Amino acid sequence: MRADRLVAVLLLMQARGRVTAPELAGELEVSVATARRDLEALSTAGVPVYSQQGRGGGWSLVGGARTDLSGLTEREAQELFLLAGPLAGSSPGARSALRKLVRALPDSFRADAQAAADAVVVDSTGWGELGPARPEVLGTIQSAVVRRRKLRLGYEGRTGQATRRMVDPWGLVSKDGVWYLLAGTERGQRTFRLDRVRDVEVSDLAGERPADFELSQAWERVASEVERRRAGVSVTVLVPPRLVSVLRNQFGRHCHVEGEVGDAGDGRVRVRLAGHSALSLAEHLAGFGGAVTVVEPDEVGRELGRIGMELATKYAGLS
């Protein structure tokens, strides 16, 4: 019998006042017999619960208490789920615990808490760039996502052109320190970088969100498309083991270690990197000097040689 499940039973009873064994079984995803044993165990252990037979019966806490056992205020519940939701994304156990806690919250808290838990996805794998400082607009946009309110964005695109648009905020993604907003627009789903948002206004209009929208799945599609465009050229290199973590940090998902230390016969590691052009790859690798050896393709090696000759010519007179 798991202690976390017994706590969940108590939370549900606190929130609802009276529950039945079948209701608990459905909420906690256990058998009716297990739910009934949990209730009886609480009673045996001295927890003030009692059962009432017949129509409209069930299990209740003595005195019919309906306070929130967690002690959370509505705002605290939102903050908790905003933090815990994305962190629990990769842990089935943590996600299950959050679902149970959501169900146990008072009805007035539950919708916003669930929305907060689903509002943010954290993608820790980088794209080879440093994230800017935490955007000032993050809190405002995050609140609009939870409350389902349309946003008016003043946005600067990649070309520097400023636009204003009304969007339905669907979810936020933090990718290695860079924040993105996935939103619905007149042209369908769009992705906005928060560091390019110049101003934001939360409207009183209710935001719309597709019933089947799943933030993590939507982001995976966005990330896959971006990576496909950015990874048109790959290069295989040999590097000292100490540089592997550096390359992983710079290239993110575009860095794949293809062997173990020593496979190259001299203690180096074979690594495959990807980028959008041979020149961009060479520019990244040039900073490592002779510590990196290009195996293939020759195009990247030629670009490295050209960069080296330019630098040698420019600084040849220095001693």
HEC profile for the chain?
CCHHHHHHHHHHHHHHCEECHHHHHHHHCCCHHHHHHHHHHHHHCCCCEEEECCCCCEEEEHHHCCCCCCCCCHHHHHHHHHHHHHHCCCCHHHHHHHHHHHHHCCHHHHHHHHHHHCCEEEECCCCCCCCCCCCCCHHHHHHHHHHCEEEEEEEECCCCCEEEEEEEEEEEEEECCEEEEEEEECCEEEEEEHHHEEEEEEEEEECCCCCCCCHHHHHHHHHHHHHHHHCCEEEEEEECHHHHHHHHHHHHHHEEECCCCCCCCCCCEEEEEEECCHHHHHHHHHCCHHHCEEEECHHHHHHHHHHHHHHHHHCCCCC
Q: Pick the closest to residue 29 from 98, 117, 96, 111 (CA basis).
A: 96
CA distances from 55 to 25, 43, 52, 65 (A): 19, 21, 9, 21
Q: Are 9 and 41 in contact (CB under 8 A)?
A: no
Residue 65 has what pLDDT? 45
The confidence score (pLDDT) of residue 87 equals 45
Q: Would you say 294 and 237 are in contact if contact means Cβ atoms under 8 Å apart?
A: yes
Residue 164: how many other CB atoms lie within 10 Å: 11
CATH of region 231-314 = 3.30.70
CA torsion through residues 188, 194, 199, 202, sign: positive
Give the burial class of 169: count Cβ atoms within 10 A of its Cβ; 0-12 exposed, 13-18 middle, 19 or more buried. Answer: buried
Residue type, position 11, single letter: L
Beta bridge partners of 121: 173
The one-letter amino acid at 308:
G
The domains of the chain are located at 3-64, 74-118, 138-228, 231-314
The architecture (CATH level 2) of 138-228 comes to: Roll (2.30)
Per-residue pLDDT of the chain (319 residues; tens, 9 = 90+): 455 677 677 777 777 777 888 888 888 888 888 888 888 777 655 566 777 776 667 887 765 444 444 555 555 555 555 544 554 444 555 555 555 565 655 565 555 555 655 667 667 666 555 556 668 888 888 888 878 899 999 999 888 888 999 999 998 888 877 889 999 999 899 999 998 999 999 999 999 989 888 888 898 888 888 777 766 788 999 999 999 988 988 887 788 898 776 565 678 999 999 887 888 899 989 999 989 999 999 999 999 999 989 988 888 877 6
Those residues whose C-beta lies under 8 Å from the C-beta of residue 228, and which sit 6 or more positions away, are: none
In the prediction, which pLDDT does 307 show?
Answer: 92
Cα→Cα distances 221→5, 170, 209, 228, Å: 35, 15, 17, 11
Find all residues with CB under 8 Å of 91, minimum gap 6, and list them: none
Question: Cα 165–168–174 angle (5° rounding)?
Answer: 100
Right CATH for 3-64 from 1.20.1300.10, 1.10.10.10, 3.30.470.10, 3.40.50.300: 1.10.10.10
**What is residue 117's predicted lDDT score, i.e. its pLDDT?**
58
**Taking the alpha carbons of 271, 276, 279, 280 in that order, is the dihedral positive or negative?**
negative
Q: What is the pTM of this model?
A: 0.53
pLDDT digits (tens, 9 = 90+) for 102-129: 565 556 555 555 565 566 766 766 655 5
pLDDT (0 to 100) of residue 88: 46
